[in-house]
Amino acid sequence: MNAILPIRRPLTVILANPRGFCAGVDRAIQIVERAIQKYGAPVYVRHEIVHNHHVVARLRELGAVFVEELHECPDDRPVVFSAHGVPKSAPAEAERRNMFYLDATCPLVSKVHLDAERHHMAGREIVLIGHAGHPEVDGTLGQLPDGAIKLVETVGDVAFVQVSDPDKLAFVTQTTLSMDDTADIITALKARFPNIVGPHGRDICYATTNRQEAIKTLSPGCDLVLVVGSSTSSNSQRLVEVAMKAGAQDAKLIDDADMIQPAWFEGVSRLGLSAGASAPEVLVEGVLDWLAARFDLSISTEETARETVIFKLPRVLVEETAAQ
């Protein structure tokens, strides 16, 4: 007699789009891959190239060696600076030691660096909205002399900002912050310093903005939202926060399908699913496979934007590829 298979409970899954890799992350990963292809292993990378454990592990298998500071690198091997950006002291040290280096800093982070320098040259003190200790923040602080940039993390911090001249003040922001939280901080800064100067356009990157808008749209009515991304990823953490503020009953950050706990799905009939800008799509597919093995899935996509941005690779890597 054939065994009667249990009837799987239905589950509606709404996929956020855009999700996953952004142009800056894709460019940074390609830089490491092509550097290993061209120069052989090992290729050293200062800090994790992007904040995703799976990406870092795969690149390590290919021959990347991840370090925190340049003193851990030999002089005769290539070094790649991560997508988060580095203080000016890093390329200066590399040049002093005659090291060959490739800069994988996201062009949108580089824009923040240039804005900070422009304001500094104009005689303005600078407020940086960001999270202390994040490598992008450390890189931005390191673009200018000590004390030239003041870090603000919360609306409450604004009241304690001390400046020499409130009429010569500007602000820049970390690119991976929550849009809504950052807007509140900017409002507080403008209330206290009416003549503060902001960036041309906005500093929070298009990919962060798009992913937050997508998850904000799908979260109302969701019993649970899963965000695929590593705990070290600022933009992934922000997606969880945005989902909760937008109306999701619960939201969780997971590295991959292995982190999912069946108990989370008690009473869940509508699930939202997204991924941070440094999370590869294969991890999202793994989550869908996990769900399909346990539920009768109905999958739809909530698309709020289409991304066509591509950032150019360093010329030395492109020319080598063309010659092969």
Both 236 and 272 in one domain: the answer is yes
Both 217 and 137 in one domain: the answer is no
**CA angle, 156 then 171 then 149, to 5°:** 85
Which residues lie closer than 8 Å to 213 by C-beta, 6 or more apart?
Answer: 304, 305
Identify the residue whose tokens are 């999270």. 131
Residue 171's pLDDT band (cuts 50, 70, 90):
very high
Which one from 136, 213, 302, 320 is the annotated catalytic residue?
136
Domain around 126 = 107-192
On the question of pLDDT at 200 being above 80, the answer is no
Both 115 and 67 in one domain: the answer is no
Residue 68 designated active-site: no
- Distance, in Å, from the CA atom of 161 to the CA atom of 84, rounded to the nearest integer, reads 25
Both 119 and 188 in one domain: the answer is yes
Whether 240 is in a domain gets the answer: yes
Whether 198 is in a domain gets the answer: no
Both 275 and 211 in one domain: the answer is yes
- Distance, in Å, from the CA atom of 236 to the CA atom of 26, rounded to the nearest integer, reads 16
Give pLDDT, residue 1.
42
Whether 65 is in a domain gets the answer: yes
Both 296 and 319 in one domain: the answer is no
Whether 199 is in a domain gets the answer: no
Closest of 310, 251, 277 to residue 19, by C-alpha: 277
Give pLDDT, residue 204.
80
CATH number of the domain residue 163 falls in: 3.40.1010.20
Rounded (10°) CA dihedral 58, 40, 65, 313: -70
Both 54 and 35 in one domain: the answer is yes
Rounded (10°) CA dihedral 258, 22, 319, 60: -20
Whether 246 is in a domain gets the answer: yes
Give pLDDT, residue 318.
87
On the question of pLDDT at 55 being above 90, the answer is yes
| Average pLDDT of span 10-37 | 97
Both 213 and 294 in one domain: the answer is yes
Whether 129 is in a domain gets the answer: yes
Both 65 and 126 in one domain: the answer is no
Both 298 and 315 in one domain: the answer is no
pLDDT in tens, 239-273: 999 999 999 999 999 999 999 999 999 999 999 99
- Distance, in Å, from the CA atom of 33 to the CA atom of 64, rounded to the nearest integer, reads 9
With 0-12 / 13-18 / 19 or more C-beta atoms within 10 angstroms meaning exposed / middle / buried, residue 264 is middle
Whether 201 is in a domain gets the answer: no
The domain total for the chain is: 3
Give pLDDT, residue 199.
86
pLDDT in tens, 265-299: 999 999 999 999 999 999 999 999 999 999 999 99
Examine the fold and report which residue of 192, 219, 251 is the final residue of a domain before the chain moves on. 192
What residue type is 198 in one-letter code? G
| Average pLDDT of span 96-111 | 96
Whether 2 is in a domain gets the answer: no
Ranges of beta strands (E only) in the chain are: 10-17, 43-46, 64-67, 79-81, 101-103, 125-129, 149-152, 169-173, 224-228, 251-254, 270-275, 296-303
Examine the fold and report which residue of 192, 227, 244 is the final residue of a domain before the chain moves on. 192
Q: By the 8 A CB rule, do 37 and 113 touch? A: no
- Distance, in Å, from the CA atom of 277 to the CA atom of 307, rounded to the nearest integer, reads 12
Give pLDDT, residue 43.
98
Both 253 and 179 in one domain: the answer is no
Give pLDDT, residue 28.
97
Q: By the 8 A CB rule, do 239 and 227 touch? A: yes
Is the preceding peptide bond at 42 cis, omega within 30 degrees of 0?
yes
Closest of 105, 178, 179 to residue 142, by C-alpha: 105
CATH number of the domain residue 65 falls in: 3.40.50.11270
- Distance, in Å, from the CA atom of 268 to the CA atom of 60, rounded to the nearest integer, reads 38
**Cα R_g (the chain), whole angstroms:** 22
Between the alpha carbon of residue 244 and those of residues 132, 177, 277, the distances in Å are 23, 15, 19
Give pLDDT, residue 144.
97
Both 252 and 319 in one domain: the answer is no
Is the preceding peptide bond at 18 cis, omega within 30 degrees of 0?
yes
